[in-house]
Amino acid sequence: MGWEFWTKQLDEEELVVEGGFEEYTTTTGSSSSSSSRAAGMNGTGPSKLVDPLEDPLPGLGTYEDFNTIDWVREKSKDRDRHREITNKSRQSTVALLHSVSDAFSGWLLMLLVGLMAGALAGGIDIAAHWLTDMKGGVCLIGFWFNHEHCCWTSNETTFQERDRCPQWQSWAELITGTSEGPFAYIVNYLMYIFWALLFAFLAVTLVRAFAPYACGSGIPEIKTILSGFIIRGYLGKWTLIIKTITLVLAVSSGLSLGKEGPLVHVACCCANILCHLFTKYRKNEAKRREVLSAAAAVGVSVAFGAPIGGVLFSLEEVSYYFPLKTLWRSFFAALVAAFTLRSINPFGNSRLVLFYVEFHAPWHLVELAPFILLGIFGGLWGALFIRANIAWCRKRKSTILGHYPVIEVLVVAALTALLAYPNSYTRMSGAELISELFNDCSLLDSSQLCGYKQPTNTSETGAGNSLADRPAGEGLYTALWQLALALVFKMMITVITFGMKVPSGLFIPSMAVGAIAGRLLGVGMEQLAYYNHDWFIFKGWCSPGADCITPGLYAMVGAAACLGGVTRMTVSLVVIMFELTGGLEYIVPLMAATMTSKWVADAFGREGIYEAHIRLNGYPFLEPKEEFEHSSLAVDVMRPRRADPALAVLTQEGMTVGEVETLVESTHYSGFPVVVSQESQRLVGFVLRRDLLISIDNARKRQEGVVSASQVVFTEHAPAQAPDAPPPLRLRGIMDLSPFTVTDHTPMDITVDIFRKLGLRQCLVTHNGRLLGIITKKDILKHMAQIANRDPDSILFN
C-alpha cells in the first residue's frame, strides 16, 4: 500500500513540477505587491500575479548564511526567466539582442574567469619563486630578480656550478664577505630561519586580521558550497586578496604545503566576484554554482598546467551538479586560463609548471610489480595521513592549541626551517624537489642524484643522450641517505602543517612523499638490474649496456600513488600526471598505481582527506559516492519524533499576523508547512521562514490597515470577513505549491537518493495525504552519523 501510494504521489508531483512550479516561481518575489493589491480589493477576486523580473521584492527568495539553497526552486526560477526572455525576443529587435547577450554572457564570464585566474596564478608563481630564493641570498643588480634570473645574463658561471655567479650573493657573503667555512654556514642557517619565520608570521597575521576564511586548502568548503550550502564571505574579495598574498608567503616560508589546492579557491573567488557583473548569475544561486564548478577546473588547470585534468578534477572530485553545458564551459575556461599562464611564462621555460619532464624510455611488463608496490605504499600512506591529520586537527579544535594559531604557525615554521636547512632536499621548495626527483639523468647532469660511476668504455652510453644503467657512485649513496631522511621528515611534518591557519595545499607535499619513495625504489631496481641482468626477470629485455630502468618514472608513479591515496582521485589524477609529463606511454603504470592506492586506502576507510575535513567541520554535505545501506524508513528519521511536541504548521486561513509572528519567533525552523486546518492536517504547501518575515515586514510598512489582528490567507480567494475587520494579508504568492513529499513507509535509501539527486533542503512526510512530519538534510546526516556510531551532534549547520 505504502509503495503504491508513494509512486502515485511521485507521479503526481512530477506533473505539478511542470505546471505548478511555474505559478509558484512567477509569484515568488512579489508577495507584497500582490497582497497590497488584493487588500485594495477588500479580499475579493484573485490578485494579479506580478512578474518577479519587473517588480521584485528585495530579499525575497534569498537565503541566510549557513543555509542550504533550494535547487529545484532556483532551477525553476531560471527556466521561468529564460522563457520570459525567449517570448520577448520575438517582439522586438532590442529584446532579441538582449536574448543573444544573455545566451553569450556565460561564455564571456568563462573568458573573464580564465583570464583573471591565469594572471593571478602567474603572479603567485613568480612571487613565490622570488621570495623562496630570498631565504638564500639576494641579487645585487636588482633585488626583485630571483636566483635563476639574476645569473641568466652572467658570463661568469661555470657548467658545474651554473647557479653560482657574482651578481647573486648569499647572506653570508653580504654580511661576512665569505661563502665558505662554518661561520658562513651558521649565518646562512640563521637568515634562512629568520626569513621563514617572517613570511609565516606575515601570512598567519594577515589571515587572522583580514580574512579568516583564507586559511587552509579551501577544497572541502568549495565542495560543500557546490552542494548548495551558503558560506557568505568565503568567496569574497577580501578572501581573494588575502589568500593570494598569504599563499605566496606561506609557500615561500618553506612550510610543507603546496599552492595547488588554494589556487582552486582563488579561481572560485574570481568566478564569484565576476558573477556579480551578470544579473543571470548574481540572482540565481544554482546558476552561480555552475560557474564555480568551471572555476574549480580553472584552478587545477593553472596549478598543474593541465586543462583537461582540471575539467575531470572538477567533475570527479568537487562538483555536485555538473550538466553537459558546464563541461563545455569548464573546458573553455581551463583553456583560456592555461593560455594566459603560458603567455606570462612564470618559469621562463615555456612550461606551465616547474616539474614538467619528458620521458620516452619504454617500460617493461615486469616493472608493473614495483609500480603496484608503489600503489600499495601510496594507499597505506594516504590512509595513515588522513587518520593522523584528522586526529591532530581534532586535538587542535578541542584543546588550548586552537586558541593560539599565530604561535602554532611560528613554532611549526621554526621547526620546519631548523630541520629542513641541513638537508638540501628538504631545503628546496616542494616543486623544485619534485622536479629534481622526476628528472632523468643525462650526460650533462651535475645533480647528486646522478652521481653514478662513469662508464669505462663508450659503448655503455646508450642511444642518443640517454645513458645506460650504471653502478651507483658516492654522490648517489649520499643523495639516497638524504632522500630517506627527507621522506621521514616530510611524512611527519605534513601531518601537523595541513589545517593550520595559513593557506595550505596538499597536492605538492603528497606528491613529494610519493616521488621520494618512487625514486628510492627506482634506483634500487636500476642497481638490481645492473648487477643481475642475467636473472630470469631481466633476461631478454635488459642486456648489459642498455638503459633499462628510468628512476624518474618511478618517482612520477609514486607521486601519483600517494596523491591518489590521500585524495582518492583516479581518472583526473592520471590525466593530470600525463599532461604534466607529456608521456602517453606511461598511462598504464599510472593507472595501475593509482587504482591500487585507492583500493588499499579504501580498505582502511572510504573517505578522502577532503571528505574527512568536511565531516570534521560539521558541514551538511551528502556525499554522492557513499552508499546508504540501512533498512530504515522515512518515519524513523522524520521530526517530530514520538516524544517531541507537534510539528509547527501554518493554516491556509484563520491565523492572524500576530499569531504567525509569535510562531515564527518561538521557533528556529527555516520553513513551515501550510495545512488546510489544524484538525485535518491536509497539506497545501510550504513557506520559507525568511520569505514569511520579509513579506510581513514589507506589508506592515507599505500596505495600509495591516495590523496584528489582520488575517493571513494562503488561499486563492480570501474568505468573507466582517465589514469592520482589517484587510487580510494574502501570502499565497510566497508559498511553494508543490513541496516534495514522501509517505511514511518510503525506504530511507530512496529518500537519500531523492535528496542527493534533486538537491532538496527538506521533504515532507505524509500518511494518506495527512501531514506527519518533515525530513531535512541535517536529519539525514544525523541519522547516517548514528548508524556509523559517530556523534550526531557533530553536524553543525542546516
Which amino acid belongs to residue 682?
Answer: R
Give the CA diameter of the chain: 114
Residues 107-114: what's their mean pLDDT?
95
- Print burial letters for 421-444: b (CB count within 10 Å at least 16), e (below 16): beeebbbbbbbbbbbbbbbbbeee
Closest CA to 43 of 700, 728, 725: 728
Higher pLDDT pick, 462 / 158: 158
**3-state secondary structure string across 381-441:** HHHHHHHHHHHHHHHHHHCHHHHCHHHHHHHHHHHHHHHHCCCHHHHCCHHHHHHHHHCCC
Q: Report the distance separating Cα 11 and Cα 493, nearest Å.
A: 56
| Contact assessment for residue 542 and residue 529, using Cβ atoms and an 8 Å cutoff | yes
User: Contact, 161 vs 366, CB < 8 A?
Assistant: no
Rg (the chain; Cα; Å): 31
| Region 361-365 average pLDDT | 82
Mean pLDDT of the chain: 83
Chain CA centroid to CA 347, Å: 26
Least trusted range by pLDDT, from 145-154, 423-432, 759-768: 145-154
CA atoms within 13 A on the CB side of 350: 0
Q: What's residue 73's pLDDT?
A: 86
pLDDT in the model for residue 167: 82
Q: What share of the chain is helix, strand, coil (3-state, %, to 5)?
A: 60, 5, 35
Confidence of residue 141 (pLDDT cuts 50, 70, 90): confident
pLDDT of 21 above 60: no
Q: Are 192 and 132 within 8 A, CB to CB? A: no
- Amino acid letter at 386? I
User: Binning pLDDT at 50, 70 and 90, where does residue 3 land?
Assistant: very low
Mean pLDDT score, 286-299: 94
- pLDDT tens across 637-653, in order? 898 887 888 888 898 88
Q: Which residues pair with 452 in a beta bridge?
A: 472
C-alpha cell at 302: 593553472
CA angle 297, 301, 307 (to 5 degrees): 90
pLDDT of residue 644: 82
Q: What span, in angstroms and rounded, lies between the C-alpha atoms of 767 and 634?
A: 11
Q: What is the DSSP letter of 441?
A: P
Q: Is 403 left (phi over 0), alpha (psi -120 to 50) or beta?
A: alpha
Q: Which region among 95-104, 301-310, 472-481, 720-729 has the lowest average model confidence (pLDDT)? A: 720-729
Grid coordinates in use for 582? 607529456
d(CA 470, CA 478): 16
**Cβ atoms of 761 and 69 closer than 8 Å:** yes
Grid cell locating 192: 634562512
Residue with cell 553543525: 796
- Contacts (Cβ under 8 Å, ≥6 apart) of 737: 16, 20, 21, 23, 24, 684, 685
The answer to whether residue 490 scores a pLDDT higher than 80 is yes
Q: Which of 382, 296, 399 is nearest to 593 (CA)?
A: 382
Residue 8 is predicted with a pLDDT of 38
Instruction: Report, as an integer, the average pLDDT of 41-47.
Output: 36
Exposed, middle or buried by CB within 10 Å (0-12, 13-18, 19+), for 74? buried
With the C-alpha atoms ordered 680, 681, 685, 689, is the resulting torsion angle positive or negative? positive
Find, among 257, 235, 232, the residue nearest to 246 by Cα: 257
Confidence of residue 451 (pLDDT cuts 50, 70, 90): confident
The H-assigned helical ranges of 532-668 are: 551-567, 571-581, 587-604, 609-617, 634-637, 657-666
- Report which of residues 237 and 532 the model is more confident about: 237
Higher per-residue confidence, 132 vs 164: 132
pLDDT number for residue 149? 81
CA distance 29 to 27: 6
41 band by pLDDT with thresholds 50, 70 and 90: very low
Q: Is the pLDDT confidence value at 53 over 50?
A: no
* pTM: predicted TM-score of the whole model, two decimal places: 0.86
Assign 12 a pLDDT band (cuts: 50, 70, 90): very low
- Among the residue ranges 60-69, 104-113, 184-193, the one predicted with the least confidence is 60-69
CA distance 630 to 563: 32
Q: For 226-235, what is the mean pLDDT?
A: 91
* Of 61 and 733, the one with more pLDDT: 733
* pLDDT computed for residue 327 by the predictor: 93
Q: Is the pLDDT of residue 407 over 90?
A: yes
Q: How much is the pLDDT for 556?
A: 92
